[in-house]
Structure 1
Amino acid sequence: MILLISDLHLQEERPDITRAFLDLLEGRARQAQALYILGDFFEAWIGDDAMTPYQASICQALRALSDSGTQIFLMHGNRDFLIGQAFCEAAGCTLLSDPCVVEMGGEPVLLMHGDSLCTRDLAYMKLRRYLRNPLSLWILRHLPLSTRQKLARKLRSESRTQTRMKANDIVDVTPEEVPRVMQQHGVRTLVHGHTHRPAIHKLALSNTPARRIVLGDWDRQGWALQVDEQGFQLAPFDFH
């Protein structure tokens, strides 16, 4: 069994989400061969050197799962793209590139966070290209901690404001971009998060059946995609 989750936006202010995640680590994830976390794992991450005691406790919980035998794979999201190798080594997880093709359920599956599919959001795509540039990343990681904290608050505030103002189709994936990316990578299944619109969309690529599986965000409930001999099953679960 393989589990895939995304968009937990873990933060100290949401102990209900934190508890649900820790329950997953101590329960279903212990039975899994692998756990994939496809971005926006934390609400914000301003550098491995700025890990808070809360974030360190999450890191330790991941390490315990890794030490139990479950492989953990982590992908950057738009909120936590500064997660680095130091965190991954401490947590016992492997950092994945975005996009990434993985063998899953007997077929190659394309994994993405999903923000790069929202190509109609021109302002965000421009910001993304700037922030993910290797030089920009180096500069960001070497800014004083206080400066990074202010910048993170500013970006989060602007993101919330702009998302409310943008049309729904702008902040969702671009329909034409999905088949283009899937054909580029030679897959019939794409799994991503980011849009907070959980669903399994049926597609056709060159008259061949295909699907796009969108993981849900953790807010009022949790979401997980389970891949096993029964296939790909996307389902919510309640917080306790």
Structure 2
Amino acid sequence: MRNEAVHADALYVLGDLFEFWIGDDDPSDFAATIKQEFRRLTDKGVPTYFIQGNRDFLLSHRFCKETGMTLLDEHTVIDLYGRKAVILHGDTLCTDDIKYQKFRAKVHMPWLQWIFNRLPFFTRRRIVNRIQGDIREVKTTKSLDIMDVNQDEVVALMNITETDLMIHGHTHRPGTHHFESNSQAMTRIVLGDWYEQGSVLSATPNHNA
């Protein structure tokens, strides 16, 4: 944030920045520190964008107002130095995981989020801790392939957005994948997690993919 991002033309955060974001009214010192760092960056004139992940889908407009960040749609097409790219968190691509997609649809219901956000913060924390425990238990029985992206879904989104470059996270399987669709070369870049190391994709005018 202070040594690299400050020199960037823009910064995009593709979700799951937090282990779980319970709400923009988080009173912890940790939340305040993160907000201060983003505000420091945006005050220096670096446009900063955020796409919600499956762990921080409750991050909303109050957080963005306090930090100067801009909240983007679940998938967004950007101009990466002359090349169109679609960026997203990536969980919407994992359509083989039917149970997760049902869970995702439920927790993204506006009325349910409205009710949840009005519960006392300590109550929300208890609910989240219980859900996280259930999710960890379920993951131990799931196939790794089910939790990865569906290639047909990848190609469909790239065709709809008329892009040949996709950048996402979520799967914790960093890598660069080259493939073809209708004789067109395509690239999918996957960012890694931050448990053991950092994972950043840098683009420059001379090397944008």
TM-score above 0.5: yes
Q: Distance in 2 between matches of 1:156 and 1:166?
A: 15
Question: SS in structure 1 opposite 2:202?
Answer: strand
Question: Could you tell me which residue of structure 1 aligns to residue 161 of structure 2?
Answer: 185
Q: Distance in 1 between matches of 2:4 and 2:142?
A: 37
TM-score for both structures, normalised by structure 1: 0.84
Cα deviation for residue 145 of structure 1 reads 1.8
Question: 1:131 aligned to 101, 104, 107, which one?
Answer: 107
Q: Distance in 2 between matches of 1:135 and 1:85?
A: 16
Cα deviation for residue 143 of structure 1 reads 2.1
Q: Could you tell me whether the CA contact under 8 Å between 1:225 and 1:232 is conserved in 2?
A: no
Work out whether 1:88 is the aligned partner of 2:64: yes
Residues 173-216 of structure 1 show CA distances to partners (whole Å, capped at 9, x for unaligned) of 11211101111111111100000111110021211111111011
Q: Which runs of 5+ in 1 are unaligned?
A: 1-24, 234-240
Question: 1:198 aligned to 161, 169, 174, which one?
Answer: 174
TM-score for both structures, normalised by structure 2: 0.96
Cα deviation for residue 48 of structure 1 reads 1.0
Work out whether 1:148 is the aligned partner of 2:124: yes
Work out whether 1:33 is the aligned partner of 2:9: yes
Q: Distance in 2 between matches of 1:50 and 1:26?
A: 23
Cα deviation for residue 52 of structure 1 reads 1.3
Q: Could you tell me whether the CA contact under 8 Å between 2:83 and 2:208 is conserved in 1?
A: no
Residues 151-171 of structure 1 show CA distances to partners (whole Å, capped at 9, x for unaligned) of 111121122222221101011
What is the root-mean-square deviation in Å for CA atoms of aligned residues? 1.2
Assess, with a 3 A threshold, how the Cα gap between structure 1 residues 51 and 209 changes in structure 2: closer, same or farther.
Answer: farther
Q: Which runs of 5+ in 2 are unaligned?
A: none
Residues 42-51 or 200-209, more deviating: 42-51
Question: Could you tell me which residue of structure 2 aligns to residue 67 of structure 1?
Answer: 43
Residues 17-56 of structure 1 show CA distances to partners (whole Å, capped at 9, x for unaligned) of xxxxxxxx11011110111000001111111122411111
Q: Distance in 1 between matches of 2:110 and 2:193?
A: 28
Question: Could you tell me which residue of structure 1 aligns to residue 79 of structure 2?
Answer: 103
Question: SS in structure 2 opposite 1:223?
Answer: coil
Work out whether 1:229 is the aligned partner of 2:171: no
Off by >6 Å, runs of 4+ in structure 1: none
Amino acid at match of 1:107: R
| Aligned residue-pair number | 209
Q: With CA pairs under 8 Å and 6+ residues apart, which has the higher RCO, 1 or 2?
A: 1
Question: SS in structure 2 opposite 1:146?
Answer: helix
